[in-house]
Every structure is written in structure tokens, then in C-alpha cells.
Amino acid sequence: MAEKSNYKLKKKIGSGGMSTVYLAHDTRLDREVAVKVLRIDPRLGLEQDARREVILRFQQEAKAAARLNHPNIVAIYQVGRQGEQYYIVMEYLDGVSLGSLMKPGQGQGAERVVQWITQVCDGLDFAHQRGVIHRDIKPDNLILLKNGTVKITDFGIARLEKSEMVRTKDETFMGTIHYCSPEQLREFRSIDRRTDIYSTGVVCYQLLTGRLPFYGGSIAETIDRILKVEPEPPGRIVPGIPVKLERVVLRCLAKNPADRFQTAGELREALSESIVPEAEGAWREVRGAAVSKSRTWKPVFFRLSMTIGLILMLATFLFGYFVIESKRGILQREASIRGRHIAYLLSLLSNDAAIGRDPSLLGRYVEEIGRDAHLVFVELMRGNQVVAGYHAEHVTPEEDVLMISYPLAVDKPEEEGLKIGFSKAAMNRQIRKIKVSVGLALGGILAFLVGVSIAKRFRFAERA
């Protein structure tokens, strides 16, 4: 590759289970880059079809990562192939991994850890909003640059390494066990962005305490602890860790994904607030001033209370309306983005000589895509005929579905298209919750206004 491309390899700087990384010089743009070369370990014993799927996933995930242009994510410059060698060219990071900064039994300062992990959350939030899940967040994949910036590396490769396609012949799981979420160990398919939040919590715990939250004498014991044992609170290991920060880390490590932070943005906000010193005595001062002023009832109090109550009612109603419209807009945007990605992938598969002409093989890929919990159906059309499709078993005629159609840009005489149905069930549940919350809030404000009105009448009656 070095002799026939713009990249002159200089030295090997790292290697992993599925790739080798080289420092290289981009002779065209005169800059240092990192070149990661796919290396399929022959010990995996993959068949030809499995090797082809590994390569396909490598290319697709690398291209997905290349679209993640964010200050806290390593930049991908090119995805290429030379002969039977597949590679990606990325930004060369002149820094150290957070893993190299860790020493057994020695934690980093809370403020420094929060500063690093909030940057990780920024990068993850950006990636998650674009449908990319890292799946292998660990200290060695987080690079600290000399200017204090933290960058996430190995997007895409992580998904490949955690795939069911990458197992040994005896079904031994390959990956970094200590940072795997419980759902990754139970069922490889049923994971989402919250698995990255769990792994981020493990990294945060390790940075604060100098040790892992779950560790056993063997892989089996470690997995058992991850699935069943609650972690020791970080404050017991390193006294002085803020209580709020400890709660944030433990919530990230919840066994049930529903009990964790649901987005990286939510985690980032919680981390930022966890090290803000509490203003001791502030509540007492506010409460004392309120009691002193409450002894003097004046008409302005009633007018101000009524005005504030009416403003709150209007604001609550408008807030509910805009949030509901926002939820609908988010579904449309996410469905459009994900649909385009799926259409692009299927167009590549359909164009492949070995896959496109094999309906059974093409059907397997469509079925794999359709297993996403948010998809109701996927249909690959050729003319008016369904070539390959997948329909979720729980679908009923009454289910609310957002259907989007895409033409497939392929060089074939027959016309091809793609129909995708996205479930609105989750959105409708959220909208119902919002309506209930807004209704309760409006009811509470109305009750407050009625109470103020009654109090005003009693006050005037006492004066008379």
C-alpha cells in the first residue's frame, strides 16, 4: 500500500484483534496520518461468506464513522482497498490514551475526570444522534491530546469486533469484557446507545478509584459480577469523591438500561452539575426572608401571584405543544437519516454480483437490518415484486407506522426501490406522557390560582 498510494508507511504504532495501525505520511497533503489495516485472524476460522460479511461491515462502519465530524472524535480521511487489503486513513493523534495514565489503586482528581468524561459525552452524543454506537468505549480508545482535548477513537471497528460474526469456533466472546454492558453479554443484538453510557461509567469509575467496578479471578467470574453484583460506591474506595458524582457514576452502571441516563447529553449535564459546590445556608436565608415578608399581606401580592399563575399556564401549554411537535419532527428526521443509510447499504448489496443475484442471501441481509426494534417492516422491491423483505411479528393493522420509500440508484434494467416502515409506538407513548404531565401541571397551577383567590377573599373579609 505504501508504494502505490499517497501514504508512505513509517512505523507500526499499534495493533488489535482485527487491525494493525501504522504511522504514515500523506505525501499529497504533507501531513502525518494513521493508517489502520484490517487483519482477519486466521484462528477465527471464518468461512468465505463470513469473511465477506466482516469486510462489508468494516467498510460500512468506517464510512459511517467518516461522517462524524466532531472535535471529540478522531477524523476519518479515507476508506480504501488495495488488492485484498482493506484500510482506513485517519487523523494522527499526538497524545496519550487515558489507559496509559491509570495506575492501580490511584485515582485521578474528580474535576479532572469530569473534564475528560464530559468531552467523551459530547462526542458520543453527536455520534448517537447520527445512529452510530461505539460499543467499545474503554480508556485505551480515549486519547488525551497535549491541549487537553479528549478524542474518541475506533468508531466502527468496535462494532465489527463485537459482532456475532467475530467469535471463535467454540463461541468464546472476543472483546474487552470489563467494559461490556450486561445487555452485551446477554444478547449481542439488543443493544443501543445506553451500552456506551454504561462503558463510559466504567471508565469514569476506574479513573476516580484506580480500579474496575467489576473484576474477577476469571472471565466467567467477571461476567457473573457484571450481570449480578452491584459495584462498591466509589466514595468508599476514595474518600472525598463528591456524593453527586458518585450517584452519577453508579447510575451509569445500572444493570437495567432503563435505569441509566438515556442519552450522553443527559449524562454530560449531570456530570457538570456533580462537582458544583452546594451553597450551604443559602436555603435558610431564602426561607427566612420569605417568612418575614409573608407577615405583611399586601394587594400587590395577590396581583403578582395571579399574573405569575396565568403566565405559567400559558407557558406550560406552549411548552407542551412545542415539545410534542418537536418529538414528531425528531422521528421524521431520524427516520429519514436512518432510511437513507439503509437504502445506501442495500443499494451496495444489490449491486454486488455475488449478493444481488442471490435472493436468499439478499433476504438474510434485509432480515438482519429489519431486526431493529424501531423498524416495522423493510421491503426491497424490484418492479412491483418484493425481492426481499422483513416484517416484525408484533405488527398489527392498527399500529401507527411512518412509511418512507426510497429509489435505489443501481445500474440495472429493472427499477428497484425500498420501502421502510418506522414504528410510531415509542413516540406516541412519549406524547401521551407529555400530555398527562402538561395536564397535571395546568391543574396544579389552576389550583394555585383558586387558592390565591380564596385567600384574597378571606383577607378582605378580615379587614371589613
136 is catalytic: yes
Report d(CA 302, CA 314) in Å as an integer: 18
Amino acid at 166: V
Report d(CA 261, CA 230) in Å as an integer: 17
Select from 59, 86, 89 the least CA-distant residue to 74. Answer: 89
Report d(CA 184, CA 193) in Å as an integer: 12
Report d(CA 353, CA 240) in Å as an integer: 62
Of these residues, 136, 154, 196, 372, which one is catalytic? 136
Per-residue b or e along 19-41, where b marks 16 or more CB atoms closer than 10 Å to that residue's CB? bebbebbbeeeeeebbbbbbebe
Select from 79, 88, 192, 96 the least CA-distant residue to 151. Answer: 96
375-382 vs 150-152, strand pairing mode: unpaired
Q: Are 97 and 154 in contact (CB under 8 A)?
A: no
Q: Are 160 and 61 in contact (CB under 8 A)?
A: yes
Report d(CA 76, CA 247) in Å as an integer: 35
Amino acid at 224: D
Select from 4, 42, 1, 43 the least CA-distant residue to 22. Answer: 1
For residue 48, what is its C-alpha cell? Answer: 468465505
**Which sign, positive or negative, has the C-alpha torsion 112, 113, 118, 119?**
positive
Rg (CA), the chain: 27
Report d(CA 380, CA 362) in Å as an integer: 9
Catalytic residue numbers read 136
